[in-house]
Structure 1
Amino acid sequence: MAWRDVSGQEPIATRLRAALRLGRVAHAYLFAGPRGVGKKRMARELAKALVCARGGDEACDACRECRRVEDGNHPDVRWIAPEGASLRIEQIRELKREAAYGTLEARQKVVVVERADALTVQAANSLLKVLEEPPVPTVFVLLAENAHAVLPTIRSRCQLISFPPLDAEWVAARLTDEGFPAAQARLAAHLAPGLDEARKICQSEGFAPLKTLVIQWTQDLLQHGASSLLALQDKLFARNPEREEVLLWCDLLLLWYRDVLHVQLGRREHLAYAERRDELERQAAKWSQAGVLQAIDAVVAARKRLALPTNAQLVLEQLAIRLLEGIRCA
């Protein structure tokens, strides 16, 4: 039935089904969590269950009401998304005007506000008034990546439901079922919080070459020291990479050193680079734990700088220097 479409977030689905079954649905929810973890899908399933002709704790997915919600054209289920970088006050004013007419077909209205953490101050204050005094019975579902970026007075009037990142093993299994190589799927699952983002990484043309480059460079760094930086610059920047590709390289490097640390600590069960365990073991023996921790800190710092307008080659030079300092701690 409908709730199966939000697999990976079963505890939240169970909680919402119980609220529907007991007639205790909150008048406003705040679904908060990383992009791609199922917030929008969960909101859609809740909306279908609320307007379904059959009633109960689960949408039938067969009636006219369910189909119209799924198609995005039910008159009593309203979706509001940013027009540009933020949600504007004009959009909330339009919502208030529509709400004044009451429901057209269903027992109540459902309003889903995407990117509630991108409301302008004026729009947030206007939405607050609607939440406090809805003109007709309405269930509001606000979606946000960061709950703390939502106006506190709005947050306090919503029931917060936190969506954790999807389990990496679960995401990897889904990607493998879709036909992606197991090693590629596992690595992408550790890089992204949700299935959609992990799938995009798997489909990226630069993913496999960048992974190979990370492993080769970590080997060269241990064997050849500072001279390995020239090889990295030749191979990485010869691709004329976009900033996102450099950031992905940095994320892959961070995962590699995290795996090295896990090997040192005896935590080998959930390695992102599990198929390269022999190489991880070799590098773990050459690094001290203090050196690996320094390497991880250095990569995190470099990644933050690379996310800003900056000279990427200079950042990588400074990263290499810090990694070499970490190697000397061994």
Structure 2
Amino acid sequence: MPFNDLFGNRRIKRVLISYLRNRMVPPAMLFSGGGSVNLKGFALGFAKALNCRDRKDDFCGACANCRDIDREMFPDVRLLRPDGQQYKKEQVDFIVEDQVRRPLQGERKVYILESAQRLSESSANAFLKALEEPSEATVFMLLTPSLSGILPTIQSRCQVLRFTPPAPEDIRKYLLEQGMEAEKATLLSRLSQSQRLDVIHGDHGEVLEARRSVLDVLTSLLRHEGEGDVLVELNNLNRRREAFIGYFRELVNLISLFLRDIMVLKAGGDDSLLFNMDFKEELMTLCQYSGEEKLMYLVRRMETLLRDVQRNLNAKVLTQEFIRSFTDQEPGIG
């Protein structure tokens, strides 16, 4: 699977290939982009291209090195993730010490940091040491949905590559080429416009099925019939940070899309503007429970909560703020 087989972001592909061809690989790169952008796929592809046995300035995806990188078994390519809520300083200390050692098997040592915005202040400051004195055989790739969570001092030491979410029509075409039914492909392409939902690389079935339960939650909150049940469910998830963050991000994302659909329906907008066309009738019934100002307020609150998730706000605080968005009135709303 060479670079050309990666979906979208042709400009980024050309940039990465030019680095390889010109032998001018930056010691540190920062990949930024959300939604259906496959940051991890591009990072692993570049790591494979640096160490592929069979191709020059690209990767084959089939040689022993490429296969081992995909399985996270290649000794010179390390894929790192936060240990709990944030990266621990011990994780970064290991990188600082390990990156000066020569590669064991490949041409380059590669460190890929997923969710780099979750570097704590102490781990980020420790990581600066590695960026300031990189080994010639080492490449760092930091992945983040948004640059806002990355320290300016780290950004300034990285080559920043901004990935662009694919257009809905491109997503629809891609899904159809993968054999998906036309109706489902159209629906997922509309949902992709939120630029936060990954409808390409995530579980398509889970994304579509999750909307049913989320709409039930939104219905309860707008009708003020079951806030306590929603609170109990979120509090139960609070004990497992990773499970809570994944569920909460999807919950708030989908509620934001449903709220926007309700606003479109209240304004008499065209059906083509709806994210969730298949739920139109149910959404029509919810129009009576909130005025336009309240809906706008709720959309803004959902956007704020999504940013708070990126800032690693405490799960209990996120839960309280989420429920309060629906139970409290915004100043000026009667």
Q: TM > 0.5 between the two? A: yes
Larger mean CA deviation between 312-321 and 101-110 belongs to 312-321
Task: Compare CA radii of gyration and give the structure with the larger one.
Answer: 1
Describe the shift of the 1:126–1:296 C-alpha distance in structure 2 as closer, same or farther (beyond 3 A). Answer: same
What TM-score does the superposition give when structure 1 sets the normalisation length? Answer: 0.72
CA drift at 1:106: 1.8
User: How many Å separate the matches in 1 of 2:17 and 2:198?
Assistant: 23
Q: CA deviation at 1:81?
A: 1.7
After superposition, where does 1:252-291 map in structure 2 within 5 Å?
Answer: 252-260=257-265, 264=269, 269-274=272-277
The verdict on how the C-alpha distance between 1:77 and 1:302 changes in structure 2, with shifts beyond 3 A counting, is: closer
How is 1:74-153 mapped onto 2 (pairs within 5 angstroms)? 74-153=74-153
d(CA) in 1 for partners of 2:11 and 2:183? 29
Instruction: State percent identity of aligned pairs.
Output: 25
Residues 33 and 208 from structure 1, CA distance in 2 versus in 1: closer, same or farther, beyond 3 angstroms?
same
Structure 2 distance, partners of 1:314, 1:122, is 33
Give the conservation status (yes or no) of the 8 Å contact 1:259–1:272: no
Post-superposition offset of 1:77: 1.1
Q: How does 1:1-330 map to 2 (within 5 A)?
A: 1-4=1-4, 6-34=6-34, 37-171=37-171, 177-178=179-180, 182=184, 185-186=188-189, 188-191=191-194, 192-195=196-199, 196=201, 199=204, 200-204=206-210, 207-208=211-212, 211=215, 232-234=223-225, 242-243=233-234, 244=248, 247=252, 250-260=255-265, 264=269, 269-274=272-277, 292=292, 294-303=293-302, 304=304, 308-310=318-320, 315-316=325-326, 318=328
Q: What amino acid is the match of 1:189?
A: S
Tell me the alpha carbon deviations over residues 103-122 of structure 1, each in whole angstroms, 9 at most, x when there is no partner: 11222211112222222223
Shift in Å, 1:242:
3.7
Counterpart CA distance in 2 for 1:208 and 1:178 is 20
1: CA distance, partners of 2:187 / 2:162:
28
* Per-residue CA distance 1:276-299 (angstroms, 9 max, x = gap): 789999x99x9xxxx74x354222
Q: How far did residue 137 of structure 1 move?
A: 1.7
How far apart, in 2, do the equivalents of 1:57 and 1:232 lie? 58
**What is the CA-CA distance between 1:51 and the residue it aligns to?**
0.6
Relative distance call for 1:240 and 1:142 in structure 2 (3 A) is closer
Q: Which protein, 1 or 2, shows the higher relative CO under an 8 Å CA cutoff with sep ≥ 6?
A: 2
- Identify unmatched segments of 5+ residues in structure 1: 218-228, 326-330
Q: Structure 2 stretches of 5 or more lacking a match? A: 235-247, 306-315
Residues in 2 aligned to 1:298 and 1:43: alpha-carbon distance in whole angstroms: 38
Matches of 2:135 and 2:301 in 1, distance apart?
A: 51
Query: Is the contact made by 2:217 and 2:230 (CA closer than 8 Å) also made in structure 1?
Result: no
Mapped to 2, the partners of 1:137 and 1:236 lie a distance apart of 55
TM-score, reference length from structure 2: 0.71
**CA pair 212-314 structure 1, distance change in 2 beyond 3 A:** closer
Quick one: structure 1 residues 27 and 257, their matched pair in 2 at CA, closer, same or farther if it must change by over 3 Å? same
Letter in 1 for 2:296: D
C-alpha distance in 2 between matches for 1:29 and 1:313: 39
RMSD: 4.1
Greater mean deviation of Cα atoms: 314-323 or 86-95: 314-323
Q: 1:252 to 1:157 in 2, by over 3 A?
A: closer
- For 1:254, the aligned partner's letter is L
Counterpart CA distance in 2 for 1:179 and 1:29 is 38
Distance (whole Å) between structure 2 residues aligned to residue 54 and residue 186 of structure 1: 36
Aligned residue pairs: how many?
A: 301
Residues of 2 paired with 1:84 and 1:29: CA distance?
A: 24
